[in-house]
């Protein structure tokens, strides 16, 4: 269903130079879409020009921030679909600087939605939410009706962002869909620091043959999605009208302990040394314990399931960073 839909469609991707946005933009170009990549390249955020090296002559790149009203009004015009992925994404940064998080993830999302309402009320919008919206969960697997009890400012504001999209759907009829992503890993991630995407950071430590800390017993369960599966979910909901106004979990299916994840990385990379350590304060407070998503809703609606197994995904990821290390380290 995805194949013919995006042919010649005008599609914008906010955060399009970042991890998920760039992988999505590359796939959109392959599908024949006319792609506008929007990314303000905030230092140490996810944006990396090398991410779009293979499509750089086939996309329009705009270095604009979702908080820029004029730029958003110009860029959302005439788009058929907008994948809205550009947000602040660090849990830890949201606690050390909650004001920046609220400025991007609350005010910025409203600037973006107001621009769509005024300039392109027919556009389809897919918003990237997060498992962080749930916070500490009482039981797994977690479906979309589970209580929303975030334990960091990032989780609160990502949820506010989702609710803004829902309000603009209910009140103004904007065609918004929200995905709540679980841990996502793969090529084109920010690899310079550990503040987001911990599993990608562990891949870096392993490739550098460094010590890899496991905090506590490392038995907390998580599920992981390889980025290509996440891209597939965005594309599937983006082309279906019956997803308007809805929210869907993504999930990896297979529960994997943190420790097992690290062990697999070390094994596949054939380097890195596991060390056990107590929880650092800044991470202890925002650690949520077990999280496994129930993704039956998106499976039923658009037939999505993750297809890339964890070891296969790790192998692809490690191969990518070995090859292109100089652009990411």
- Residue 153 engages a second copy in binding (rule: CB under 8 A): yes
78-97 footprint of a second copy as x/- string (CB under 8 A): -----------------x--
Question: Does residue 138 belong to the site contacting a second copy (CB under 8 A)?
Answer: no
> Which residues does 1 contact at the CB level (< 8 Å), separation at least 6?
236, 239, 240, 302
- CA 139 from chain center: how many Å? 23
Least separation in angstroms between CB 93 and a second copy:
14
Contact call for residue 205 and a second copy (CB under 8 A):
no
Torsion, Cα of 19, 22, 28, 33 (10° steps): 140
Instruction: Tell me the closest approach of the beta carbon of residue 114 to a second copy, in angstroms.
Output: 7
Which position among 124, 166, 188, 189 is part of the footprint of a second copy (CB under 8 A)?
166
Distances from the Cα of 138 to the Cα of 173, 250, 293, angstroms: 34, 18, 12
Instruction: Phi first, then psi: give them for residue 258, nearest 5 degrees.
Output: -55, -45
- Give the helix, strand, coil percentages of the chain, each rounded to 5: 45, 20, 35
Name residues contacting a second copy, limited to 238-297 (CB under 8 A).
285-286
Cβ count near 197 (within 10 Å) = 22
CA torsion through residues 189, 46, 206, 96, sign:
negative
Stretch that binds a second copy, among 58-66, 157-165, 214-222, 313-321 (CB under 8 A): 157-165
Cα–Cα distance measured from residue 108 to residue 39, given in angstroms and rounded to the nearest whole number: 13
Q: Please tell me the count of residues contacting a second copy according to CB under 8 A.
A: 31
- Min dist. Cβ of residue 77 to a second copy (A): 20
- Find the Cα–Cα–Cα–Cα dihedral 268, 234, 142, 144, rounded to 10°: 170
> What are residue 181's DSSP bridge partners?
130
Q: Among residues 43, 138, 139, 171, which is the contact residue for a second copy, using CB under 8 A?
A: 171
Closest contact distance (angstroms) between CB of 152 and a second copy is: 6
Work out whether 129 is an interface residue with a second copy (CB under 8 A).
no
Residue from 107, 211, 267, 323 that binds a second copy (CB under 8 A)? Answer: 107
According to CB under 8 A, which one of 41, 74, 167, 198 is a site residue for a second copy?
Answer: 167
The verdict on 152 binding a second copy (CB under 8 A) reads yes
Q: Does 229 bind a second copy (CB under 8 A)?
A: no
The alpha-carbon radius of gyration of the chain (Å, integer) is 19
When binding is defined by CB under 8 A, the residue of 157, 176, 183, 249 that contacts a second copy is 157
| Positions in the binding site for a second copy (CB under 8 A) | 95, 98-99, 102-103, 106-107, 110-111, 114, 145, 147-153, 155-157, 159-160, 163-164, 166-167, 170-171, 285-286
């Amino acid at each position: 269903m995805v194949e013919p839909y995006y042919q010649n469609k005008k599609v914008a991707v906010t955060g399009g130079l970042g991890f998920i946005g760039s992988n999505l933009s590359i796939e959109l170009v392959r599908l024949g879409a006319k792609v506008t990549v929007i990314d303000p390249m905030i230092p140490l955020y996810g944006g990396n020009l090398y991410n779009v090296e293979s499509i750089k002559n086939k996309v329009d790149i705009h270095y604009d921030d979702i908080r820029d009203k004029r730029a958003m009004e110009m860029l959302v015009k005439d788009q058929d679909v907008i994948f809205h992925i550009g947000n602040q994404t660090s849990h830890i940064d949201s606690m050390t600087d909650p004001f920046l998080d609220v400025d991007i993830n609350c005010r910025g999302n409203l600037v973006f939605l107001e621009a769509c309402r005024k300039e392109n009320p027919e556009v389809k919008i897919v918003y990237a939410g997060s498992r962080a919206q749930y916070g500490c969960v009482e039981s797994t697997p977690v479906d979309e009706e589970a209580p929303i009890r975030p334990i960091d400012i990032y989780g609160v504001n990502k949820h506010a962002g989702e609710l803004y999209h829902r309000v603009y759907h209910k009140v103004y009829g904007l065609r918004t869909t929200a995905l709540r992503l679980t841990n996502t890993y793969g090529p084109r991630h920010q690899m310079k620091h550990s503040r987001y995407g911990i599993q990608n950071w562990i891949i870096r430590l392993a490739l550098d043959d460094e010590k890899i800390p496991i905090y506590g017993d490392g038995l907390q369960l998580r599920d992981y999605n390889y980025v290509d599966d996440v891209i597939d979910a965005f594309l599937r909901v983006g082309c279906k009208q019956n997803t308007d106004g809805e929210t869907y979990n993504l999930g990896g299916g297979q529960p994997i302990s943190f420790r097992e994840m690290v062990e697999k990385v070390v094994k596949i990379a054939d380097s890195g040394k596991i060390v056990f350590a107590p929880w650092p304060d800044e991470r202890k407070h925002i650690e949520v314990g077990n999280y496994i998503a129930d993704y039956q809703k998106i499976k039923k609606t658009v037939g999505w399931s993750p297809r890339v197994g964890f070891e296969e995904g790790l192998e692809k990821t490690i191969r990518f960073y070995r090859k292109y290390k100089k652009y990411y380290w």
